[in-house]
Amino acid sequence: IALIERRYVSVLTKQDSGLYKYVSQPREDLRKLEPLALAVGGQDYRLTTDTPGDYVIEVRDAKETVLNRINYSIAGEANLSRSLERNAELQLTLSKGDYRPGEEIEVSLRAPYVGAGLITIERDRVYAHRWFKTDTTSSVQTITVPEDFEGNGYVNVQFLRDPGSAEIFMSPLSYGVAPFSVDRGARRHTVTLTSTPVVKPGNAARFTVQTGEPARVAVFAVDEGILQVARYSLGDPLDYFFTKKMLQVDTAQILDLLLPEFSQLSGAAAPGGDADGALAKHLNPFKRKGDKPAVYWSGLVDIDGSHDFDYVVPDSFNGKLRVMTVAVSAARVGIAQSETLVRGDFVLSPNLPMQVAPGDEFDVSIGVSNTALDAPARPMAIDVALKLPASLSIVGAAKHSVQIAPGNETSVIFRVRAGEQLGAALLQFTASSGKYSAKRSSDLSLRPNIAYRHELRVGNTSKREVVGGLRSMYDQLAQRRVAASVSPLVIADGLTAYLDNYPHYCTEQLLSQAIPALVFIAHPEFGSIAERNPGDRLRAAISVLRSRQSDGGGFGLWVATPDADAFASVYAALYLIEARERGLAVPDDLLNGLNDYLTQLAGDAAVNGLDGLRKRSLAVYLLTRQGRITTNLLATVQEQLDREQPKLYQDDATAAFLASSYQLLKQEKSARTLISGPLQRLNTPREIKNWLRYYDYYDEGIASAWTVYLVSRHFPAQREKLKSDAIARLLEPVRMNRHNTLSSALTILALDTYAATGKFDALPRLAVIGADKKQAAIGQAQGMIMQGLFGGNATQIVIEPQAGAPAWYSISQSGFDRKLPMATQSEGLELIRDYLDAEGKPISTMTVGDEIEVRLRLRALGANARGSIAVVDLLPGGFDLVLQSEPPGADSGGDDDAGDFAPAPASAPTLALPGSTLSVVHVEPREDRVVLYATAESDVREYRYRIKASSVGKFVIPPPYAESMYERDVYAQGGAAGSLTVESPKTAP
C-alpha cells in the first residue's frame, strides 16, 4: 500500500524504494510517515509489517480529514496476545476467494492458544480433510481442493487446545468456517462475437459467432441507451448453474461431555460462514404501431464453427447497439459481447399527430439533420419526399428540396388528408443527395370520430320475415351476425355477442361477460360458442376480483374500497358458485373471504328497504346453496320483510330467493308459498308502460330472469307452470331493446336451466338481400342453430321458418357507423360539449401548442337523477390530454418558518379542472378519449378538462356520447359540430 505526494492512496506499489517497517502501532506512528511521503515528490512507498493481524491504513491531511482507508490482513506464524470479547474464537482468513480444482488453499489461523486441529472442505458433505498441529497462536495451514470439486465450498476448522497450554480458563474447543469458490474455467465455452462496426439505419448489421465446439447459441442486440438506463450488464449463466449453496454438514463433538463446565460457554462462539453472500376496454382499437425498438433476438441456433446473423436495424434508430451472445454445449457455457454503431447520412425526425379521423387535414413535418461524415463543408441539396398509404392522400407537393450544410438541420412540411380506410397508416420519408441517403417511417392511427356501438335485434316468427334498416358501418372491426333456431336458446347467442362487445367493465359487467362461457360448457350443440374457453374467462375474472376485493371479503364496483358494493359482491358469489358447480377450479381463499362478507351482509339489519333486503335474501340463498345452515339468517330476513315490506316483496325476486333457500333446507311448504308470488307475476301479461324501470340492479327483465332461473333450478314440480308465454315474457325486454348486461347474463342462465335439447330437423333458412335487390342464401347449421355472417352490402335479412316450426332469431351488429349523426339526440339525458379559450369563450381556431378547455354539461331529463351513466368524449385528431398536477407542498399548512418539515409530496395528476361539479364515480383518461362514469342530476352539472393542440391542421369535431349502462333507451348523442382549426405560430416580421 503506498502513499503519494498528493495525499491520496494509489492501488499498488510500483517499486521497492523507501521500504518502511510498520509493526502494529497506534495510528500516530502512521502519521509520522505522512511528512516523509510528502517530502519526495512522485515517489511511491510500501508499508510492511512482520506481525500477523488485521490492519487499517488511513491517510489524513493536516485537518485530520480522512482521504482514504484501506483494510488488509497479514498472515504468518507468531505468538500474539489477544483481547477477546467472546469466548475462544478461532479467526480464519483465506489467501483468496477463488481456487482452481487441485490447488492448495492457504488458511491463516489466529487462535487463543496453541494446539491441534482438523481442516475440512465441506458443502453437502465432507470432500477433503487434513489434521494439523501448531506451536504458535498464529499460523498458516493448507488443504488441497479435490480435482472434481465445483461450485462453492466451505473451509471448516476445528481447533483443540494443547493440554500443556496455560489458557486453562478458556473453552478447550474453538472453530471457524470460511467460504470459498472454485474457478469455473473448465465450464467456460470458448466463443467469440464480431459485429459490423458501423451501419446505417434501415440497413442490415451482421453478427458473426465463432465457437470452438458444437453449441447452441443465442444472439441479442439492444439499444445501449436502454441498457444504460437500466444499468444492465450481461450476466454469466454459470452464476445460475453454480448458485452459492449453503453449508449442510452438521458437526458434532464430545468434548463438552468430558468437560461439561464449558458447555454453556461454547454457544457464544461465532462460527461465521456464508458471510460474504448477499379484462382493456374503451381503448383506440386502431392503434399505431409506433417506432420499432432497437432490439434483436436470434432465437436458439445450433452451430458448429462460425455462423452469421443478420439484423435489419430500424430506420428510426441512430446510436450504439450492444451485441451479446450466449453459447451452450453439453458441459460448457460461454458469453461474449461486441458493439455496432448505427449512424446515417441524415437523421430524420418526423412529427405527426398520434391519431386523426376521416376528413381531417393536417400538417406532417420532418426534421432533416445533415450528419454525413465525409460530406463537403458546403451546403448540400437534399431532396425530401413523402410516400403515403392508400388511406391518406397528399395535399400539394410530395417532394421538397432543401439546402443543408454538414452539422446543420432544417424541417420540411407536407399537407395530408385522411381518407375512409381505418387502421394504422404508415408514412415513409426519404432524404437523398447523390450517394448520401436516409429513410424513415412513422405511423399514426386513423380512427373513426364516433364511439363503437353494438345493436341487437331479436324476435320470433312463424312465417317468412324480412328485417331491414341495417347499419352502414366501416368494415374494419365490424361484426354482422344472424342466428335462428326453433329453440329460444338462440337468443343466448345474440346476448353473448352483446356482452362480448360491451365497452365498459365495472365488476358486474365483467362477471356478466364471463357467464356465457359457463353456460355453454353444457351446450356443445351451440357449435362455435362452445369453443369459448370457460377456464380462461374464469382466470381473467378471478384476476380482476382479487384486485377489487376488500379486507372484509366484498368487492368494489371499480376498485377495492373499504365499503364494498353489496350487489357486486353477491353477484360475484353467484358466478364463483356456478363456476365451481360446473367443474372449474375456484380458489378457496377468494370464496371463503366472500362468504364471510355474505354472512355479515345477510345479518345486517341496517340494510333495509326492499332493495337492501333483496340483496340480503340473495346472500342467504347463496350461503344456503353452498350447504350452510342458514335457518336463523333466513328467519331474520323474512321477519324484517314481513314487518317493513309486507306487500311489496310477495311477488318480488326477494320472495324467490327466500323460497329457494327454504327448498334447499327441505322446508318445502314455506318454499311453495313464497315462490307462488313471483311465478304468478311472471305468468301474468303486463303492458310495457307498467314494466319495472331499472333501479339498483333490478328491472322487468332482471326480475323475470331470476324467477325462471330459480324455478327451473329448484322447483321441478312448479317448472311446468312456466308456460311458453312466460318464456316469451322473459325474452320480451330483449326484443324491445330494454336489456342490459345484468339482465342479459341472467337471461342466459335462465334459458340454460329451462331449455332442453330439441329436434334439429326443421331449422330456419337464412338469406340476405343486397343493394342489387338480389337474394342470396347464407348460414350453416351448427347443432340446433342456423347461423351466418353478412357483409356491409346487405340491406335486408330474411328469416324463413321450416315445417311450420316457429323460428327464434337474433341479429347482432357491432362496429363504427360511417356517418356522424346529423342532429343531437337526447333520450332521458342531455349532453353538451364546448371548447373554450382562456377567457371561457367558445373557440374554433387556435395556434399549435395552445391549451383549450373542454366543458361537458350533463343533466337528466324526466327524472330527478340517473345513475350509472357512461360518458365517452373522443378527442379531435391532433390533440392531446393535459393532466393537472398540484405543486408539492401547495396545501401543507403550518408555519412557513418551520424548516424541520419537508414539503408535502405532489399529488397524483388528475384530469378534472377546478370548477367541475359533475358527480363522477370513475374516470378513465385514454390516449384519444375520456371516459367518465357519473350520476346525472336534474340540474346541469359540468366536467372540465384541458386538451392541447399538437398538430397544425383542420380537424373534424367528434360528437360526445352518453348512455345509461342499464337502460338502453336512455342516452344522449351529439350531432355534427364542425371542425377545429389549428394554425402555425405567427413569426415576427
Is the pLDDT at 655 greater than 80, yes or no? yes
**Alpha helix (H) ranges present in 645-754?**
653-664, 668-683, 700-714, 724-735, 741-754
- pLDDT score of 832: 94
Model pLDDT, residue 81: 53
Strand 215-223 vs strand 301-303: parallel, antiparallel, or unpaired? Answer: antiparallel
Residue 441, C-alpha cell as written in the block:
417511417
Here the cell at position 22 is 510498520
Per-residue confidence (pLDDT) for residue 194, from 0 to 100: 94
Q: Environment class of residue 350 by beta-carbon count within 10 Å: exposed (0-12), middle (13-18) or buried (19+)?
A: buried
Residues 6+ apart with CB under 8 A from 806: 460, 461, 462, 486
Shortest CA distance to 916 belongs to which of 937, 896, 955, 945?
945
Q: Is 918 left (phi over 0), alpha (psi -120 to 50) or beta?
A: beta
CA 178 from chain center: how many Å? 44
pLDDT of residue 180: 93
Is the predicted pLDDT of residue 102 greater than 80, yes or no?
Answer: yes
Segment 332-343 shows an average pLDDT of: 92
Above 90 in pLDDT, residue 163?
Answer: no
Higher-confidence residue: 761 or 130?
A: 130
What distance lies between CA 868 and its chain's CA centroid? 27
- Count the neighbouring beta carbons within 10 Å of the beta carbon of residue 267: 7
484 vs 489: CA distance, rounded Å = 10
What DSSP string runs through 947-967? EEE-S-EEEEPPPPEEEESS-
Residue 121 reports pLDDT greater than 80: yes
Neighbour count for residue 246 (Cβ, 10 Å): 11
640: closest CA among 599, 600, 605?
605
When pLDDT is averaged across residues 883-888 and rounded to a whole number, the result is: 63
Rounded Cα–Cα distance for residues 612 and 618 (Å): 10
Per-residue model confidence (pLDDT) at position 95: 87
Q: Which residue has the higher pLDDT, 54 or 371?
A: 371
Provide the whole-model pTM. 0.67
Beta pairing, strands 53-60 & 46-48: unpaired
What pLDDT shows up at residue 299? 92
Q: What pLDDT sits at residue 51?
A: 63
Closest CA relative to residue 755, chosen from 485, 567, 574, 451: 485
Q: Give the cell for residue 110.
A: 489466529
**Residue 625 has what pLDDT?**
94
Range in 227-241, 372-386, 758-772, 894-908 the model is least confident about:
894-908
pLDDT at 32: 36
Instruction: Report pLDDT digits (tens) over 263-290.
Output: 333 333 333 333 333 334 556 677 777 7
Of 186 and 48, more confident: 186
Mean pLDDT of 405-411: 90
Q: Label residue 703 by pLDDT band (50, 70, 90).
A: very high
Contact 701, 738 (CB under 8 A): yes
Q: What would the grid cell of residue 484 be?
A: 335462428
Mean pLDDT, range 209-222, rounded to an integer: 92
- Give the per-residue pLDDT at 458: 87
- Is the pLDDT at 861 greater than 90? The verdict is yes
Residue 609's SS3 state is helix
**pLDDT for position 737:** 85
For residue 47, the model assigns a pLDDT of 55
CB 189 within 8 A of CB 327: yes
Confidence of residue 551 (pLDDT cuts 50, 70, 90): confident
Mean pLDDT value of segment 143-162: 91
Say how far apart CA 815 and CA 817 lie, in whole Å. Answer: 7
> Beta-carbon neighbour count of residue 547 at 10 Å?
11
Contact present, 344 and 198 (Cβ < 8 Å): no
DSSP SS3 for 415? strand
- What confidence tens digit (pLDDT) does each residue in 419-431 have? 999 988 999 999 9
| Half-sphere exposure (Cβ direction) of 212: Cα atoms closer than 13 Å | 11
Phi-psi region of 319 (alpha: psi -120 to 50; beta: other; left: phi over 0): left
For residue 225, the model assigns a pLDDT of 87
- CA 454/CA 741 separation, integer angstroms: 12
Q: Angle at which helices 631-644 and 609-625 pack, to 10 degrees?
A: 160
DSSP classification of residue 70:
E
Residue 461, pLDDT > 80, answer yes
How high is the pLDDT of residue 899? 42
828 Rama sector, left if φ>0, alpha if ψ -120 to 50, beta otherwise: left
C-alpha cell at 908: 397524483
| pLDDT > 70? residue 73 | no
Q: Write the secondary structure of 877-895 as one string of H (helix), E (strand) and C (coil).
A: CCEEEECECCCCCCCCCCC
Residue 695 has pLDDT above 70, yes or no: yes
Number of alpha carbons in the 13 Å side-chain half-sphere of residue 656: 23
Contact assessment for residue 204 and residue 313, using Cβ atoms and an 8 Å cutoff: yes
CA 595 to chain centre: 29
End-to-end CA distance of the chain: 70
Residue 364: predicted pLDDT: 94
Residue 601 CB partners (closer than 8 Å, separation 6+):
554, 566, 569, 570, 607, 615, 616, 619
* Number of Cβ atoms within 10 Å of the Cβ of 510: 23
CA distances from 245 to 123, 125, 158, 177, 240 (A): 7, 12, 21, 14, 11
Under the banding of pLDDT at 50, 70 and 90, the label for residue 111 is: confident
Residue pLDDT, tens place only, 19-43: 333 333 333 333 333 333 333 334 4
DSSP state of 197: S
Amino acid found at 21? K
What is the DSSP code string of 301-344?
Answer: EEESSEEEEEEE--TT--EEEEEEEEEE-SS-EEEEEEEEEE--
What φ, ψ does residue 974 adopt, rounded to 5°? -70, 155
3-class SS of residue 479:
strand
Place 621 in a pLDDT band, splitting at 50, 70 and 90. very high
The CA radius of gyration of the chain, in Å to the nearest whole number, is 40
- Taking all residues of the chain, what is their mean pLDDT, rounded to a whole number? 82
**β partners of residue 156:** 120, 177
Confidence of residue 924 (pLDDT cuts 50, 70, 90): confident
Residue 314: CB atoms within 10 A of its CB come to 19
Which residues are paired to 106 by β-bridges?
142
Report long-range pairs for 378-383 (Cβ below 8 Å, ≥24 apart): 378/405, 379/403, 379/404, 379/405, 379/408, 380/404, 380/405, 380/406, 380/433, 380/434, 380/436, 381/433, 382/346, 382/431, 382/432, 382/433, 383/430, 383/431, 383/432, 383/433
How many other C-beta atoms can be found within 10 angstroms of the C-beta atom of residue 773?
8
Mean pLDDT of 794-803: 91
Between residues 253 and 700, the one the model is more confident about:
700
Q: Torsions phi, psi of 576, nearest 5?
A: -65, -40
Using a 10 angstrom Cβ sphere, with 0-12 exposed, 13-18 middle and 19 or more buried, the burial of residue 60 is middle
Q: Which three cell numbers stand for residue 944?
A: 372540465
In this prediction, residue 86 carries a pLDDT of 44
The confidence score (pLDDT) of residue 125 equals 93
CB atoms within 10 A of CB 931: 20
Segment 693-721 shows an average pLDDT of 89
CA-based diameter of the chain, in Å? 119
Range from 82-91, 312-321, 484-493, 686-695 carrying the lowest mean pLDDT: 82-91
Phi, psi values for residue 516, rounded to 5°: -55, -35
Q: Contact 245/123 with Cβ under 8 angstroms?
A: yes
**DSSP-derived 3-state class of residue 845:** strand
Distance CA 767, CA 738 (A): 27
- The strand pair at 46-48 and 19-21 is best described as parallel
- What are the residues facing 874 on neighbouring strands? 929
CB neighbours of residue 675 within 10 Å: 24
Beta bridge partners of 814: 454, 479
- Structure confidence by residue, pLDDT tens digits, 300-324: 999 998 999 999 998 888 889 999 9
Residues 6+ apart with CB under 8 A from 571: 507, 508, 511, 697, 742
C-alpha cell at 90: 478461532
CA distance 811 to 788: 10
